[in-house]
Structure 1
Amino acid sequence: MRTEIENALAVLKRGGIILYPTDTVWGIGCDATHPDAIDRIYKLKQRAESKSMVCLVNDFKMLNQFVEDIPEVAYDILKYAAKPTTIIYDDPIRVSENIIASDNTLAIRVVQDDFCKQLCRKFRRPIVSTSANISGQKTPGSFSEISKEILYGVDYIVDLNRTGKSEKPSAIIKLSKDGHVKIIRE
C-alpha cells in the first residue's frame, strides 16, 4: 500500500487525476485546490460544472481547515454514523472555486478507509472524490465495471482492491449554519 500512496501522491502533486478505491465506491480524484485538475474531471465525466463533487479529508482537524464554521452537530453525526457519511457544509475555504456549488457549499467526507486516510494525511489537502463513471451512467459496483473511457482518461490507477465489490455510495446530509439539517441520500 505504501508504494500506491507514494505513486498517487506524485500524480496529485503535479495536478494529475487518479482512479482510486475509497471507503464507498471507486473514485476519480485530484487536488481540490487545483482548478485545472478539477476541470479535467468535469470533462472526463462529461459533467456540468454546476454539479459539485465530494472532497475527502482524513480527520476533523483537516476538515476545520477547509470549512469556515462547522456546526457542532456535524461532529456528532460523524461520530455516530453507521456508514460513510458526506456532509454538505456552508462557506468552504481554501479550495478551488470550481468545486464550490453555486450556493457556496461543499460536500466533504471524513474518510475511514486506511488508504484514503493516509493519502489525505500525506497530501495535506482535500482530495476530490467523484464516482468513476460518465455522468448519467450507473455507478460501477466494482473495478471491472469501470468504462475504458474513464480508465484511459486518468493519469494513474491505484493498484488496490481491484477484485472486490465496491461499497454503496455514502449517505449525504446538508447542514446549514442556521442549524437546518436535510438528508439528501440515506
Structure 2
Amino acid sequence: MTIIIGARSENVIILGTDSRITAASFILHSEFSKIEKLSRNIYAAFCGCCSITTELDMIKNDLKMYEYRTHKDSLVFDAANLIRNVIYKNREKLHGTCLIVAGWDYKEDTQLYMIHSNGFLERTSLAAAGSGSEIVEGFLQNRYNTDMSINECKSLVEEGIELAIYNDTSCGGNKSIVIVGRD
C-alpha cells in the first residue's frame, strides 16, 4: 500500500504521497509517481491497485473530450464522479484502491474529494488513505485546521508522509507534493 494525503488551505489544495510500490512484503518500485494530472485544473492521488492508472488514462480522455466540446475546464465533481463509477463497477478488480481528487473549476473554487475503495464519494477538507493512513490519521486531525496558511498546510502534509514512511514498511521512497489551485 502507501500513503496519500490531501489538505485544503486558503484557495489551494496540497496533495502528497510517498513513492514506494509494494506487493505483500516485496518492494516493486521505490520511485513511482502516485499523483496523476487529469486535466489542467484537476489532479488525483491514488493508493491500492496500480491498474487504476489505466482507468485514469481513460478518464483523462473523457475530460479532454468534454473540454474540447464545451471550451471550458472540466468540473472537479464530474471527474471525481467518473472515477467513483469506475471504482464501484470494478471493486473486485480494484480491491483496496482509494483516490483523492483535487482541483478547481469555474462553478466552485478549490475542491477536495475522497473516493473510498467501495466507491463512496466524500467531499472533505482533509483526507488520507493507504496503509500509512492508520498511522497518520490522528496526527493530521489533531494538527489540521481550515485557517492554515499554505506553508503550514504543506508542512503538515510533508510531516504526515514522513511519519507514515518512518512507521509503515509499505511506505517509503521520496515525498511527492503538488499544490493545486488557480495560480
TM exceeding 0.5: no
From the two aligned structures, give the one with the greater strand fraction. 2
Give the TM-score of the pair, scaled to structure 1. 0.31
Give the TM-score of the pair, scaled to structure 2. 0.31
